[in-house]
Amino acid sequence: MNNIKKISAALRDTDAGAIFVTSPQNRYYATGFRSSAGDLFICADGAAALFIDARYFEEASRSITEAEVICSNDKPLLDIENEFLASHNVTKLAVEEGSLSYAAYKRFEEKLAPEFVPGQKLLRDLRMIKSDEEMEILVKAQRIADEAFTNTLKLITPDITERELAAELTCQMLKLGAEDKSFDPIVVSGSLSSVPHGKPRDVKLQRGFLTMDFGALYKGYCSDTTRTVAIGEPTQEMVKVYNTVLLAQTEAIKAAKAGMLGRELDGVARRVITDAGYGEYFTHSLSHGVGIDIHEFPTCSTRSEDVLLPGAVISMEPGIYLPGHFGVRIEDVIEIKEGGCFDLTDLPKELLVFRA
C-alpha cells in the first residue's frame, strides 16, 4: 500500500506546498510502513522524504519506494528538513494540527521555516474513501473476526468468566491471522450489559444478555463487530428489545447509500427504536468510520453533517441500554456504495440462547 502520489495530488488543490505527516496512522497510510517515529514530508510537486532514526532506517529503506528515506547522525534533523523544504520551494506547510501535541506543534512551528496551515482534513478525507486494496484487507479482517466469534461461541458455559471469554476471543483472532485486536474486547453479561463500554470482569457469565464487542487488526486495518446473546431463557421484554435493535439495524442497512447525511442515516435507526418506546435508551450515535483507526470519519449521529460517499466504511451499531437491567447492541460494518451498501460482516443475527 502506498498513497504518497494520492496525497501529493490532493495538495495541488490547496495553497500548501507540502504536508508534514507526523502521526503513525497517517505515515502508514502514506507509505505502507509502520513505525513509532519519523517525520514524513510530501510535496505538491511529487517529491517526498521520510526522516527517520537508525532504529527503522534499514527496514524503511527497503520498504518505501515513493519517498527518499533519510537518516541523519551528524547534523540537526530540523536543519536537514528545512533544506529539503527549501529545495522544493515550500512556503506553506500543511500539518496534522489535530494529532500534534501543543508542545510539539510549537516546537516545529518555531524551527521549521514554512508557514503552518491546517492539513488534518486533507488526510482525513482521503482516508475516508477506501481503495480496492484497502477493502480486501478490511474484508479479511472481518472474516478473521467472524470465524473467531463462531469458534468462541462453543466456549460459552456457565463456568467461564467474562475475562476468560474475552481472552479466548482474542486468542482465536490471533490464531486465525490477526496481528492484534482492534481494541480491548467488551465482554459483559447480566445487568452490566446495559453499560455500552463495560469492562470484562472476573465473574462467571451472568444470566441475561451477554454482549461481545470485538475486532481484529489485520495488515494495519481494523474490524468491528458486536453480537448479543442470551444466557438462560430471555424474558418477553428482552426479546422485544433485541428484536427492536435488530429491526433498527436492518432498516438502517437497507437505507444506507451514497449521498446521505450522517444524521439522516442515524435517524432511520433511531426512529425504529423511538417508535418502540426506547428512544431515550439509545444513548450513542449509530455509526463511525472504520479503517486504520477503529474510529474514523464519517460519523452518523443526530447532528452529523458528514456526507456518506462511495467507498466509505462505517459501523452500524444501534443499541438499547436499560440501566441496571440489560442492554442490547448489534453491530456490522458496511461499505457505502451508489444506491446501497455492502455488509462486510458475515454472521447470523437471530437471538442465540445458551444454558444458564
Q: How confident is the model at residue 54 (pLDDT cuts 50, 70, 90)?
A: confident
Task: Give the fold, CATH level 3, of 132-354.
Answer: Creatine Amidinohydrolase (3.90.230)
Q: 62: number of CA atoms within 13 Å, CB side?
A: 4
Is pLDDT at 356 greater than 90 in this prediction? no
- The stretch 174-198 carries a mean pLDDT of 97
User: 231: left (phi > 0), else alpha (psi -120 to 50), else beta?
Assistant: beta
- How long, in residues, is the chain? 356
- Residues 50, 69 contacting (CB under 8 angstroms): yes
Question: What pLDDT is recorded for position 53?
Answer: 87
Question: What pLDDT is recorded for position 157?
Answer: 93
- The stretch 208-237 carries a mean pLDDT of 98
Is pLDDT at 139 greater than 90 in this prediction? yes
Mean pLDDT (the chain, rounded): 96
CATH 3.40.350.10 positions along the chain are 4-127
Q: How confident is the model at residue 72 (pLDDT cuts 50, 70, 90)?
A: confident
Residues 235-293: pLDDT tens digits? 999 999 999 999 999 999 999 999 999 999 999 999 999 999 999 999 999 999 999 99
Question: What pLDDT is recorded for position 328?
Answer: 98
**Class of domain 4-127 as given by CATH:** alpha beta
Backbone angles phi, psi at 191, to 5 degrees: -65, -25
CATH 3.90.230.10 positions along the chain are 132-354
Residue 298 amino acid letter: P
Whole-number Å distance between alpha carbons of 269 and 54? 51
99: which residues sit within 8 A by CB, 6+ positions away? 22, 23, 26, 120
Residues 83-119: pLDDT tens digits? 999 999 999 999 999 999 999 999 999 999 999 999 9
- The stretch 185-203 carries a mean pLDDT of 97
- The stretch 123-141 carries a mean pLDDT of 97
